Structure 1
Amino acid sequence: MVKLTIIGNDDTAYELDVQDGSSVMENAVRNGVPGIEAECGGACACATCHVYVDATWTEKVGEPEPMEEDMLDFAVDVRANSRLSCQISMSDELDGLVVRVPEMQG
């Protein structure tokens, strides 16, 4: 198990123990984190699981792949640290990851 913290758009911190290989989106949905709609179920076909990666983690999480980058065009208030949470796979390297849910989803 690895640690993941998702900060909701109301500033509630959801501190989760998650399985290696699971996505941030799967864990958000499983734990009822508001604001992560995940309408496409993790297929990278919508932008309703948009999150901001904490600045201390952006390098480790990495840049979005081209398909994800295209889907981020549909997200609201995209920033340099924006990612789709369905595309972030948890691993030992990301133990302690912190992401924030935007105020609004697309």
Structure 2
Amino acid sequence: MVLIPFNMITINIQEADGRISSVNIPKDISLSLMEVLKAGGYDIQASCGGMALCGTCHVGVTEGFDHLIPAGEQELETLDGLPNSEENSRLSCQLRLSQILPGMTFILKGDQ
């Protein structure tokens, strides 16, 4: 059993090939999920730099979707234009770590 420090959260990332990895993130950093994924070497383009315009940081939320604050107008507009957008889709640039709960699972969908 692995013990996670109380000031960290663990989330799960599923890549396009189906591989799932766990990521430990300090609770008190003010970053977006996109920034964490890029820093962790995940295949996320984030072409617009986090402005919710391009959709290349698109993720599916398979665990914990109901706990997220609703998507804003710009994010919904961008998601609506993506061919692989689903009900559980979000843009990782718009998800702040402060709203992500331990155990949430995200599927990378940005370049599918």
TM norm structure 2: 0.80
Report the residue type matching 1:78 in the other structure: S
Report what 1:64 is aligned to.
Answer: 71
Distance 1:72 1:15, change over 3 A: same
Q: Figure out how many residues of one structure are paired with residues of the other and give that number.
A: 103
Aligned residue type for 1:71: T
- Taking the TM superposition and a 5 Å limit, the aligned residue runs for 1:27-106 are 27-34=36-43, 36-54=44-62, 56-91=63-98, 94-102=101-109, 105=111
Kept after mapping to 1: 8 A contact 2:12/2:22: yes
Answer whether contact 2:69 2:99 (CA < 8 A) is retained. Answer: no
Q: CA deviation at 1:18?
A: 1.4
Q: Please give the secondary structure, in 2, of the residue aligned with 1:27.
A: helix
2:32 aligned to 9, 19, 23, which one?
23
- Give me the TM-score of the superposition, normalised by structure 1: 0.84
User: Within 1, Cα distance between the matches of 2:52 and 2:17?
Assistant: 25
In structure 2, stretches of 5+ residues that fail to align are 1-7
1:93 CA displacement: 5.5
Residue 31 of structure 1 deviates from its aligned partner by 0.9
Structure 1: gaps spanning 5 or more residues: none
Identity %: 30
Amino acid at match of 1:69: L
Contact (CA 8 Å) 1:76, 1:105: kept in 2 or not?
Answer: no
RMSD between aligned residues: 1.9
Name the CA distance, whole Å, in 1 between partners of 2:25 and 2:83.
Answer: 27
